[in-house]
Amino acid sequence: MTHLNDHRLATLRQDLHDLYGNNHDAAEIDAEVDAAIARHTAGAMVEEFIPVLVEREVKEYFGGHRIHVRFFAGTNHALAEEVVKLTKEQAGDALLADAAHSHTEVDPNNRMVSMPDFIVYLGRDIPRDEAGKDIKIWDIAEANTEEEKRELHDDLEARVLYMLNRLGIDPVEERTAVGV
């Protein structure tokens, strides 16, 4: 197999773990990917199509994927990261959440070619230059004082809970302290 396919298959494997890791353990995903690679490599005359065929087969095997939501707040990266943190606290592994950054040096591992199921713009005046299968706009007020920051946090938490409800995802139960 070519070096280029090795790289593509490694990327595909990571993507499949991201998509199905909440419902299936890593060993099960890896076993299915390895089996699909073996089946398609055995009779392949044109190796360039192997990653595409493996992806189709594995996605068909596992079915529905984990919903991916990306938050974007323009140059206010801290706001986007805060909403991601709130979302992960409330949704756990049931949802894949990340923040889009307008500069790649903020997150050099971010693959902007991936298209999330939802892109949520955190503010009406944010430039809309991110792609998503569905776009939501949350009208977020500026928070300058401590009181406004607390109100913003409460507002964001309520919006996250509403979003999870609309997506059919139950919030994670209260966490208990370990070792108590």
Please state the length of the chain: 180
pLDDT of 107 over the 70 cut: no
The model scores a pTM over 0.85: no
Report H helices in 43-145.
50-62, 77-91
Query: Of 3.40.50.300, 3.55.40.20, 3.40.50.2300, 3.40.47.10, which CATH number belongs to 67-166?
Result: 3.40.50.2300
What mean pLDDT, rounded, does the chain reach? 84
3-state secondary structure of 72: strand
- Locus of tokens 């055995």: 42
With beta carbons less than 8 A apart as the criterion, state whether 71 and 120 touch.
Answer: yes
Distance from C-alpha of 129 to C-alpha of 141, rounded to nearest angstrom = 21
Phi first, then psi, for residue 132 (nearest 5°) are -160, 155
Sequence spans of domains, the chain: 3-62, 67-166
What pLDDT, on a 0 to 100 scale, did the predictor assign at position 155?
Answer: 94
pLDDT tens-place string over residues 49-92: 899 899 889 888 887 778 889 999 988 889 999 999 999 999 98
CA-to-CA dists, residue 34 to 27, 58, 62, angstroms: 10, 10, 14
